[in-house]
Amino acid sequence: MRKAIVYVHNIRAGVLTEISSTEYYFEYDNNYKGDLVSLTMPISQKRYSYNSFPPFFDGLLPEGSMLEGLLKNTNINPYDYFSQLLAVGGNLVGAVTIKLEG
């Protein structure tokens, strides 16, 4: 199991957890009252479960030549989306950043 801390505008919003390659969940922190991580994930529902890599986080992953460069320079498996997200999570476009727990 791997966990990543999700921040919005540098404020901790919650945790993305990978149980397996087919089981993920995102959970807002109980005391979080900032902006939404995504319009598809309102704060009114604290926990979101997924049977594949969550669509919002998938949309943050690099594509094309940027993905090829990432995979070449890090030796990350092309199907390990969680590792890809952690590799680029500190340098994403927009308000969301992602860091490995710990």
Q: What is the pLDDT of residues 36-71, one digit of tens each?
A: 999 999 999 999 999 999 999 999 988 888 888 888
Domain containing residue 53: 2-100
For the range 32-35, what are the long-range contacts, defined as Cβ-Cβ under 8 Å and sequence gap of 24 or more? 34/8, 34/9, 35/8, 35/9, 35/95
* Arithmetic mean of pLDDT, 20-35: 94
Cβ atoms of 14 and 29 within 8 Å: the answer is: yes
| Domains held by the chain: number | 1
Helix (H, G, I), strand (E, B) or coil at 76: coil
Distance CA 84, CA 101 (A): 15
